[in-house]
Amino acid sequence: MSNDRLAELAAAGVSIWLDDLSRQRLNSGNLAELIRDKHVVGVTSNPTIFAKALQNAEDYDAQVRELATRGASVEDTIREVTVADVQQACDLFRDVWEATDGVDGRVSLEVDPTLARDTEATVAQAVDLWKAVDRPNLLVKIPATEPGLPAVTQALAEGVSVNVTLIFSVERYRAVMGAYLEGLERAAANGHQLTPLVSVASFFVSRVDSEIDKRLEAIGTDEALGLRGRAGVANSRLAYAAFQEVFAGPRWAALAARGARPQRPLWASTGVKNPDYPDTLYVTELVVADTVNTMPEATLDAVADHGETNGDRVTGSGAEAQQVFDRLAEIGVDLTDVFLVLEDEGVDKFEKSWGELTDTVRGQLEAAK
């Protein structure tokens, strides 16, 4: 039955990606099993995932000892370790990448999150990671901060496929799509073929509910409490309506005629944080073609066990979703502030994880010496 439920989700046009990567998954064969048995066709990583992976993980010991012997710095060690994991994952997904003509079989590696406010440094590292991994199915993750948007455009212009992450508002998502289109136009002007360039836009879901629910509970009225758990899905459905609009316009048509691919929405942060909500909420309520859902393994298992795919749950739902946001604004939820807080917290969280990763690697290098 687990295969049947996941097969139904995939057949509905949702690409199932795993939101986790570690050398233990690679070496144990776990990731290969998920590809074979659970329809996983891609994987995403971030600083938090790598920080967790390197803590108490014997799989990295030999490489860290070798790097310590060479006198590698903490920064160089992080780079070599993460690049090695991503290369191995890219190779594992190579058959999927070929079978889907480059749409799936993708592995994401994020730039240093401490660069999130620095456009030029982000571009430089994105190009550097692209060259270091040297795999056509890589996606370099760049945050959708205001300085990150021109970095997305420039990276694409340099021929780098991009996963744009930390998107919370539809307004920012529209800016991301604009950055993607401009990047394709510049790439074409630079002589790059457009078909190999692939991008996804990682639109975060559960964190929106977590922040808005907190504010609704502070308001405390029956109407406010009745809106809990509705904003994340509604926000994503509005994002998909924006996606349909942008990728049906004349600017896109001109790029599509040159072989460009649309930038698919990727539903991120789909693990349910409130135990009162169904544990498959951010998967089953966002089923629609031409999307990616990147899930932690617990969510993947929940969908496999009892997730119900009841057709397209998104197309045509924009008006109803907008009503949710109209009601939120009417009862006093400052939505502009919500999205600013979420972006700042997202960047801060990844910066903290990067610090934890740095401390872990520094300790491992010292122990190896």
pLDDT class of 57 with cuts at 50, 70, 90: confident
The predicted pLDDT at position 1 comes to 44
Which 3-state string (H, E, C) describes 111-179? CCHHHCCCHHHHHHHHHHHHHHHCCCCEEEEEECCCCHHHHHHHHHHCCCCEEEEEECCHHHHHHHHHH
Element counts in the chain: helices (H) and strands (E): 18, 8
Point out the residues that are catalytic.
Answer: 141
The predicted pLDDT at position 235 comes to 98
The predicted pLDDT at position 55 comes to 86
266-323 pLDDT, tens digit per residue, is: 999 999 999 999 999 999 999 999 999 999 999 999 999 999 999 999 999 999 999 9
Element (H, E) at 107: strand 106-110
Question: Is the pTM here over 0.95, yes or no?
Answer: yes
**Mean predicted confidence (pLDDT) in 217-245:** 98
164-182 pLDDT, tens digit per residue, is: 999 999 999 999 999 999 9
How far is the C-alpha of 224 from the C-alpha of 364, rounded, in Å? Answer: 49
**Mean predicted confidence (pLDDT) in 44-69:** 91
Q: Does the 2-43+92-342 domain belong in CATH 3.30.565.10?
A: no
